[in-house]
Homo-oligomer: A and B are copies of this chain.
Amino acid sequence: MTRINPGGTIGILGGGQLGRMLALAAANLGYRCHIYCPEENSPAFQVADKTTIASYTNDVALTEFARSVDVATYEFENVPAQTADIVSQNTLLRPGARALMVSQDRLTEKQFLADAGVKTAPYQEFHTAEELDAAFKVIGRPSVAKTRRFGYDGKGQQLVKTSKDLAKVLSVTGSTPAILEGFVNFDREISVIVARSASGDVAAYPVGENVHTNHILDVTTVPAQVSDLVEAKAKVIATKVANALEYVGVMGVEMFVNDDKNQIIVNEIAPRVHNSGHWTMDGAATSQFEQHIRAICDLPLGPAEARGAVRMKNLLGDDILDCEQYLADPKASFHHYGKSDPRPGRKMGHVNWVEPAEG
């Protein structure tokens, strides 16, 4: 329940665009930020009061970092368990280590969600060729093989539609533990950005609808084209997940929706601010970044309503060179992450369009 008042120092593990936007939001509330990241020239360094360039396995640097801050948080879910341990031995870590443990592994994540009473796709774990065959007999096709750990943006995944696909699975998952997941027929992907404060207050933003291109988020629109029932159910699910984890901070809960049946299954949870919540920077009175800072500092949560209809578009790679057109569009709010190298597929910035609600 420890409250960290404005003027305090927040430590952030990870120096990418999420860390940068967290630092900007924290500064607006009067906090100083200390960014810890192994990569030189990390975007978040440009806006931080203090920076540490060191590996996530450098115990000495981690200890110094943790002792220099009032609370530590992270911008990515793959923080090593040992890193989280050292930090939490020396300062408050919010969200806590359990959120990392659960979300880093697709198997523990699915088990946690089942325990919380939340529906997911059917799955079977496998490791060897024999286990894969056994899993395939239960799950059938189409299905998707996914490594349990370190998958993102479609990496470490193999869609299984044919026997040929099945033969490819082990070359994709390699020798690491994996799961075979039943392919879910869904009409749309949605996500809920939910915040839970150290005091246990919860605020869920309106449901966003996500469109991916090449496995990377392209566009989020709010409101999602779902029934009121699905909107309400999705928020209940996200709240249930946050409460079951005794979560502190903002998290993204990705879900698949079957429109006819008003059915929702949870795809995955991300224990951090989430790309599909970037619309809140202009489309809500409190951005997900400020909300995360409020939550981990145990301040009151801010209002999470949308200001109107919002559309967020990611700018990947060279998309960023079109910034002029967005800056000249009076309905667009443009955000640039300060990265100098627009590699293909790299998240360079985003644009929000807000259409104010009718009064």
| Chain A contacts to B: CB under 8 angstroms | 5-7, 20, 23-24, 27-33, 45-49, 282, 285, 294, 299-300, 302-303, 307, 320, 323-324, 327-328, 330, 333-338, 340, 349, 354, 356-359
| Beta-carbon nearest neighbor of A335 in chain B | B28
A-B contact pairs, 16 of them (CB 8 A): A5-B323, A6-B338, A7-B336, A7-B338, A20-B27, A24-B28, A27-B47, A27-B338, A28-B336, A29-B335, A282-B285, A285-B354, A299-B324, A307-B356, A356-B357, A357-B359
Query: Are A46's CB and B32's CB within 8 A?
Result: yes
Q: A30-B349, A349-B30 are contacts. A324–B300 as well, Cβ < 8 Å?
A: yes
Give A307 to B24 CA distance when docked, in angstroms.
Answer: 23
Give A31 to B23 CA distance when docked, in angstroms.
Answer: 15
Q: A5-B323, A357-B359 are contacts. A30–B337 as well, Cβ < 8 Å?
A: yes
Give A305 to B28 CA distance when docked, in angstroms.
Answer: 22
| Beta-carbon nearest neighbor of A297 in chain B | B327
Partner of A356, one of B23, B299, B337, B356: B356
Give A221 to B277 CA distance when docked, in angstroms.
Answer: 31
| Beta-carbon nearest neighbor of A337 in chain B | B30
Give A189 to B336 CA distance when docked, in angstroms.
Answer: 37
Which residues does chain B contribute within 8 Å of A307, judged by CB atoms?
A: 356
Give A175 to B267 CA distance when docked, in angstroms.
Answer: 75
Which residues does chain B contribute within 8 Å of A27, judged by CB atoms?
A: 20, 24, 46-47, 338
Give A327 to B302 CA distance when docked, in angstroms.
Answer: 7
Which residues does chain B contribute within 8 Å of A32, judged by CB atoms?
A: 46, 338
Query: Are A30's CB and B338's CB within 8 A?
Result: yes
Partner of A330, one of B285, B328, B356: B285
Give A7 to B41 CA distance when docked, in angstroms.
Answer: 13
Partner of A29, one of B28, B282, B334: B334
Query: Are A336's CB and B29's CB within 8 A?
Result: yes
Query: Are B358's CB and A330's CB within 8 A?
Result: no
| Beta-carbon nearest neighbor of A32 in chain B | B46
Give A349 to B20 CA distance when docked, in angstroms.
Answer: 22
Give A177 to B337 CA distance when docked, in angstroms.
Answer: 49
Partner of A285, one of B5, B29, B333, B336: B333
Which residues does chain B contribute within 8 Å of A338, judged by CB atoms?
A: 6-7, 27, 30-32
Closest 6 CB pairs of A and B: A30-B336, A359-B359, A358-B359, A300-B328, A46-B49, A303-B330
Which residues does chain B contribute within 8 Å of A330, judged by CB atoms?
A: 285, 302-303
Query: Are B47's CB and A49's CB within 8 A?
Result: yes
Which residues does chain B contribute within 8 Å of A359, judged by CB atoms?
A: 356-359
Give A87 to B113 CA distance when docked, in angstroms.
Answer: 60
Which residues does chain B contribute within 8 Å of A349, judged by CB atoms?
A: 6, 30
Which residues does chain B contribute within 8 Å of A303, judged by CB atoms?
A: 330
Query: Are A327's CB and B30's CB within 8 A?
Result: no
Which residues does chain B contribute within 8 Å of A294, judged by CB atoms?
A: 327
- A273 → B minimal CB distance (Å): 15
Give A49 to B330 CA distance when docked, in angstroms.
Answer: 29
| Beta-carbon nearest neighbor of A33 in chain B | B46
